[in-house]
């Protein structure tokens, strides 16, 4: 599925065009004359609201429009994040709000942090644009471990998978900066076969129904949907990642070359994600470390035309899955035993044990009696 996307990097340009288009209208002239010099800030705020992207914008062929969803988006100045109960975003672990970014982990060992949206997302088709930065003092292959972007059923659950829980339910996109598998191969004096070795940092994606574990020793290779190399550390320009989910088609692209152009990374059809999950991002450091910063998260609702057949096929699902990829089925946990049931199990176990002992003694005595008769 081919998509043509356009990024507006300068919001000031969009605002300027909006102001110019309003300048000729009579109501705008009357409103502007009413504003005094001390109300200039109010006029600027009005312009920003008018040009903030709340309205639809066409982003590709096939009558596809996008709408910025502020309840799922985050950008500077991060007011109330991590401190206000009314904030739409929660911090976890070592994550800290700074002036220009939110630092998930500092360049220190054994840290982990996360940022989670408090509002579940019920959009059918969406696009998440992530502005991030990974940097630190570590030299080549002496840094780690990376960050992850999540769309999952559970939120605020710390764990070993880039700071989030293992066996998650939903989608995980990983920006992995440390090659665990390669280092293990080197330690065992083995070499990769041609075409198998991956160059790090590396972006990969995984869909999980709660039955799979992320394999750290192999950098998630057994369960990844796809991936690509992404040189994102210690760059002097902005780095972006976009995750697009349209008509059960997952597309991941990146802008990491400073050219303001998207490059394809992962494209997977037949991805089925339930609605009502949470967006978040997390990071973790171990013996090696890096600064993992998030500058902004912007979620857009995409309106896409569907045929009646697509409407029939694209019904809501209740468990994540990928067509033509067999995920182990979740087994429902057995309900805990009640006190009476536990007592009965113990009681009958004891009765059976006593009965078995008595039968054993009787058989042993008969055997002894028969043995004595043979001698007489």
| Mean pLDDT per 10-residue interval, the chain, length 376 residues | 40 41 44 43 42 52 77 95 90 97 97 98 97 93 92 98 98 96 61 63 97 94 96 96 97 96 96 98 96 98 92 90 75 56 81 86 79 60
Residue 321 exposed, middle or buried by CB count within 10 Å (0-12, 13-18, 19+): middle
Closest by CA position to 130, among listed 294, 10, 8, 16: 294
Q: Report whether 268 contacts 225 (CB < 8 A).
A: yes
State the pLDDT at residue 364. Answer: 78
Dihedrals φ, ψ of 240, to 5°?
-130, 150
State the pLDDT at residue 28. Answer: 43
122: left (phi over 0), alpha (psi -120 to 50) or beta: alpha
Q: Report whether 100 contacts 75 (CB < 8 A).
A: no
Domain boundary assignment for the chain: 12-52, 56-322
Q: Report whether 269 contacts 249 (CB < 8 A).
A: yes
Q: Report whether 127 contacts 151 (CB < 8 A).
A: no
The pair of three-digit structure tokens given for residue 272, joined into one six-digit string: 């089925």
Q: Report whether 248 contacts 272 (CB < 8 A).
A: yes
The pair of three-digit structure tokens given for residue 283, joined into one six-digit string: 């990071």
Q: Which CATH number fits domain 56-322: 2.30.30.90, 1.10.1760.20, 2.60.120.200, 1.10.3210.10?
A: 2.60.120.200
State the pLDDT at residue 60. Answer: 53
Beta strands in the chain (DSSP E): 57-60, 64-68, 89-93, 96-97, 102-105, 112-117, 126-135, 146-152, 169-176, 202-209, 226-229, 239-246, 249-255, 263-269, 271-272, 278-284, 291-303, 321-322
Q: How far apart are CA 269 and CA 289, in angstroms?
A: 35
Q: Report whether 167 contacts 213 (CB < 8 A).
A: yes
State the pLDDT at residue 53. Answer: 45
State the pLDDT at residue 185. Answer: 63
State the pLDDT at residue 9. Answer: 36
Q: How far apart are CA 160 and CA 147, in angstroms?
A: 12
State the pLDDT at residue 11. Answer: 39
State the pLDDT at residue 261. Answer: 94
State the pLDDT at residue 336. Answer: 60
State the pLDDT at residue 376. Answer: 53
State the pLDDT at residue 208. Answer: 97
């Amino acid at each position: 599925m081919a998509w043509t996307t356009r990024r507006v990097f300068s919001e000031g340009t969009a605002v300027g065009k909006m102001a110019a288009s309003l300048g000729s209208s009579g109501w705008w002239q009357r409103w502007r004359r009413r504003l005094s010099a001390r109300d200039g800030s109010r006029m600027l705020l009005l312009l920003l609201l008018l040009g903030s992207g709340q309205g639809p914008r066409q982003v590709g062929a096939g009558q596809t429009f996008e709408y910025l969803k502020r309840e799922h988006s985050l950008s500077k100045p991060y007011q109330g994040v991590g401190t206000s109960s009314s904030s739409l975003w929660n911090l976890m672990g070592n994550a800290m709000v700074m002036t220009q970014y939110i630092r998930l982990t500092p360049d220190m060992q054994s840290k982990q942090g996360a940022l989670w949206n408090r509002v579940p997302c019920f959009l059918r088709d969406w696009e998440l644009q992530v502005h991030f930065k990974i940097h630190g003092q570590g030299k080549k292959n002496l840094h780690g471990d990376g960050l992850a972007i999540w769309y999952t059923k559970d939120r605020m659950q710390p764990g070993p998978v880039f700071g989030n829980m293992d066996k998650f339910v939903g989608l995980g996109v990983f920006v992995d900066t440390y090659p665990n598998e390669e280092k293990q191969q080197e330690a065992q004096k083995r070499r990769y076969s041609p075409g198998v070795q991956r160059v790090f940092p590396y972006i990969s994606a995984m869909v999980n129904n709660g039955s799979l574990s992320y394999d750290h020793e192999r950098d998630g290779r057994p369960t990844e949907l796809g991936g690509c190399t992404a040189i994102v550390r210690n760059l002097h320009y902005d780095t972006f990642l976009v995750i697009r989910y349209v008509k059960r088609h997952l597309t991941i692209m990146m802008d990491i070359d400073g050219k303001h152009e998207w490059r394809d990374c992962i494209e997977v059809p037949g991805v089925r994600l339930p609605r009502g999950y949470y967006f978040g991002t997390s990071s973790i450091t171990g013996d090696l470390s890096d600064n993992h910063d998030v500058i902004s998260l912007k979620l857009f609702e995409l309106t896409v035309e569907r045929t009646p057949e697509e409407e029939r096929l694209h019904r809501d699902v209740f468990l994540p899955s990928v067509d033509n990829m067999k995920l182990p089925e979740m087994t429902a946990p057995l309900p805990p035993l009640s006190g009476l049931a536990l007592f009965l199990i113990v009681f009958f176990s004891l009765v059976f044990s006593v009965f078995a002992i008595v039968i054993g003694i009787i058989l042993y005595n008969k055997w002894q009696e028969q043995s004595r008769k043979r001698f007489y």
